[in-house]
Amino acid sequence: MKISLHKDGNFQHGPTPEVRATLRPGDRHALDRWSGAPEIGKRVRLALILRFREAELRPAADNLDPRCTRLPSPPVGSLLGLAVLLSDAPGVDEPPIPGWTVAVRLPRGGPGEALLAWSHIAEEPGARESALEQMASLGAQWKWSARGSAEPFGWSHGETEDGLRTVSEWALDSLVDLGDQNLAYLRTRLPDVRPLTAYQRELPLHVELCAVLEVGGIGKPVLYVDDRARCNHEALLEDVLTVLSALNENGPDGGWDELEDGTLTTGIAVQHD
């Protein structure tokens, strides 16, 4: 994945060309977009803060690019913060953030430079678990980044209380656990919920599906959920119940397909803002 810092003040976190070539129809070509970087010192602006929790770190490959810069791992229960700073002129000695250290300087197209500064940040007990619970309620936006990528990580986005943009990295095994939590949430409210990978029929390829809903001849609904899609699972549940209610009251409309065995099937697409 890469972060693009454009001269016009618009920034983007998205896939590299290699990953972009593997995306499914309907996928966005950016995980997050934002504009503006607050000035935190004389001619120095803070574009975003990358956050790497100690619990989400995994052993690095032995064949890392020699251009990589190694940073010390944070203590247990802490995270490594990496601030992306933009200066309008070269020669900034230290970032105007107490306790942070400049690790890398990168030239920009103009006279300034980009600086990467790091610090270890302590977290309150349970902060990681609370963040995972919040992600589960908002839907699996993080999983998009892992699709088609060999990198065993995904990302979530947010803001600090001061309005600073943040990007948090999560290990893929944590995200798999979260996907299981999303299915468990739906199973408490619907009788038969399965992963979309268990769906045996052909899927439409022109939209990004959140789920496929099937209703058999005896009227029993089965919901196949794509836990990789950017779905709000509370909204998905509401959509499913609305669709089933309309089916029971009015019969199938044009949004349903009837299969040879009489099964009705419909797709529920991801709604983008």
For the full predicted model, state whether its pTM sits above 0.85: no
Give me the phi and psi of 44, to 5 degrees please: -130, 130
Local confidence band at 78 (pLDDT 50, 70, 90 cut-offs): very high
pLDDT digits (tens, 9 = 90+) for 154-188: 788 888 888 888 988 888 677 656 555 666 656 66
pLDDT digits (tens, 9 = 90+) for 49-63: 999 999 988 887 778
Nearest C-alpha neighbor of 10 from the set 44, 47, 35, 39: 35
Answer whether residue 3 shows pLDDT above 50.
yes
Mean pLDDT of the chain: 78
